Structure formats: structure tokens, C-alpha cells
């Protein structure tokens, strides 16, 4: 795992547009994915995440044409997810210009998919995405699939460990409870998962201030922070985020 912490703006895409919601609902438009991605590349983002958030729910594949257009405009690593259900889907996205492919619902349905894919192309290309909600009665977290629509009986802690053991290269961990709220990342959840696995954990869900980004890596032990609202609506720039992190003792690439 790198000593440098990454800042990753996230493009949630629906119907060909970047969108942003709160707790996975109340979706609003946030721009054209190609233009938004170009801006983040120019601002100095470390990576970009492109997530087709309705692909699995609508039983279709990720919009390859849009991925190709984004990949042509950015010169930093691009992670793409949404509707990935088999090895061919992974190859198609890598061929379209993705550097990494995020797999979520399909891995829950068939955990062997992670082994099958990473055995063929290596773990560095595969990001295991986990969407979770905290249980009301205790401190555990449950895994959700299909863009947060379907609850499973799977415990997030155990699932993260299994994904690591099966060969995932990174974990993209999203707190659905915090998503879009700007109230900060779920630091207890982050700490729990980061301490349990030997691969990088990307914090997602809740970024509202620069302090939240710092807390995710310092307190939550995340290796990277993913954010949308604060960057999409120019509350902060990537550069401001990196300068704040460096000022507060976090190693980042300026």
C-alpha cells in the first residue's frame, strides 16, 4: 500500500449524465461526464471513479461509449463500475480505457467471480465495491446490492475479508447512511474494515469538509478518499483538498 493518500472524485452516472443524490435517493443532475472528468484531471485528481449507478438495476451493461470518451480525455487512472457481471465485461471496460474495474452486486451473487477475474488479469485491476448500511440494533453493517436497492444478510466486515482473500486489489467502501449528507465519513466503519484487510480501502460517503477527508485517512485509516458533492459543486477544488491534507501531515501528491 502506498504511503501517499489519494483524492478520487466520483462520477455517478445515470442516463449519460453525472448525478448526485443523498443516501442513494433524491438524484439531481451534476453535468456532462466527459467535461466533469476533464476538469478533475486538470485540477490534479489522483484518479477518477466512473460508476454507472443504474446499470445493474436496469439489467444492462455499462455505457461503453461514454467510458471511451472519458478515457480519451483523462490521463490519470480511471476506475469504472456498473453492470459488471462476468470476465468479458471486465475485458470490455479495460479495452474501452478503464484502468480498473469495480465489481459489486455480481460478486455478491457469485463470489467466485473475483477469483476468476483476478486469476486471469491480476488483482491490481479489480476494485471490490461494497455498499453498506448500519443495522439499527447494533454496530454491525449489512451489505446492499443493485445500487443500494437490495438488502442482503451479509455482514460487511466478513465480506470485506472474503473479498480480500479472493484476490480483490482494493475495496471501495460506501456508507449509504452518510452518502451525500456532507456529515463526514463513517469513521468506525472505515477503521473496522481498514484494520481487517491487507489491501487499500477507499472511503466513500459523507465528505462535506476538508477535515472530513483528513479524518478518513488519519482516524479511519483509509488509503484514499472518494468524494462527489464537494467537488462537483466547486465547494472545494482538488488542489485545496490536497494542500489541506499536506498541511495536516497527510502525504499527498501535489
Q: Which residues contact 174 (CB under 8 A, 6 or more apart)?
A: 129, 130, 131, 132, 204, 205
CA nearest to 79, candidates 61, 58, 103: 103
The C-alpha cell of 46 is what? Answer: 489522483
- H or E stretch covering 14: strand 6-14
Alpha carbons 226 and 196: distance in angstroms, whole number: 20
Per-residue pLDDT at 25 = 59
Q: Could you report the average pLDDT of every consecutive run of 10 residues in the chain (254 residues)?
A: 91 84 68 93 97 74 87 96 93 96 95 96 96 88 88 95 98 95 96 97 97 98 95 94 97 94
Per-residue pLDDT at 1 = 66
CA distances from 192 to 57, 111, 150 (A): 29, 21, 23
Q: Which residues contact 122 (CB under 8 A, 6 or more apart)?
A: 169
Structural domains in the chain, sorted by start: 6-247 (3.20.20.70)
Query: pTM score, two decimals?
Result: 0.93
Per-residue pLDDT at 27 = 66
Active-site annotation, residues: 12, 131
Per-residue pLDDT at 126 = 97
Per-residue pLDDT at 50 = 95
Per-residue pLDDT at 30 = 75
The C-alpha cell of 136 is what? Answer: 439499527
Q: What is the DSSP string of 48-78?
A: EEEEETTTTTTT----HHHHHHHHHH--S-E
CA nearest to 190, candidates 176, 202, 178, 207: 202
- Tell me the CB-side half-sphere exposure of residue 67, using CA atoms within 13 A: 26
Amino acid at each position: 500500500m502506498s504511503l501517499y493518500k489519494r483524492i478520487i472524485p466520483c462520477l455517478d452516472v445515470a442516463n449519460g449524465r453525472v448525478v448526485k443524490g443523498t443516501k442513494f435517493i433524491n438524484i439531481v443532475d451534476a453535468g456532462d461526464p466527459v467535461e466533469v472528468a476533464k476538469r478533475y484531471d486538470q485540477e490534479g485528481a489522483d484518479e477518477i471513479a466512473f460508476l454507472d449507478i443504474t446499470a445493474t438495476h436496469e439489467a444492462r451493461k455499462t455505457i461503453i461509449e461514454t467510458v471511451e470518451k472519458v478515457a480519451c480525455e483523462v490521463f490519470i487512472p480511471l476506475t469504472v463500475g456498473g453492470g459488471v457481471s462476468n470476465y468479458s465485461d471486465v475485458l470490455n471496460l479495460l479495452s474501452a480505457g478503464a484502468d480498473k474495474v469495480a465489481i459489486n452486486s455480481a460478486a455478491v451473487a457469485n463470489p467466485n467471480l473475483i477469483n476468476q477475474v483476478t486469476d486471469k488479469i491480476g488483482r491490481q485491476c479489480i476494485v471490490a465495491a461494497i455498499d453498506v448500511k448500519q443495522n439499527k440494533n447494533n454496530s454491525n453493517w449489512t451489505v446492499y446490492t443493485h445500487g443500494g436497492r437490495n438488502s442482503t444478510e451479509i455482514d460487511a466486515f466478513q465480506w470485506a475479508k472474503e473479498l480480500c482473500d479472493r484476490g480483490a486489489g482494493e475495496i471501495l467502501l460506501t456508507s449509504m447512511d452518510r452518502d451525500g449528507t456532507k456529515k463526514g465519513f463513517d469513521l468506525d466503519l472505515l477503521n473496522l474494515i481498514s484494520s481487517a484487510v491487507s489491501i487499500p480501502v477507499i472511503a466513500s460517503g459523507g465528505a462535506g469538509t476538508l477535515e472530513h477527508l483528513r479524518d478518513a485517512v488519519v482516524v479511519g485509516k483509509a488509503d484514499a478518499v472518494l468524494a462527489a458533492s464537494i467537488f462537483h459543486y466547486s465547494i472545494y477544488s482538488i488542489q485545496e483538498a490536497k494542500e489541506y491534507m499536506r498541511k495536516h501531515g497527510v502525504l499527498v501528491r501535489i
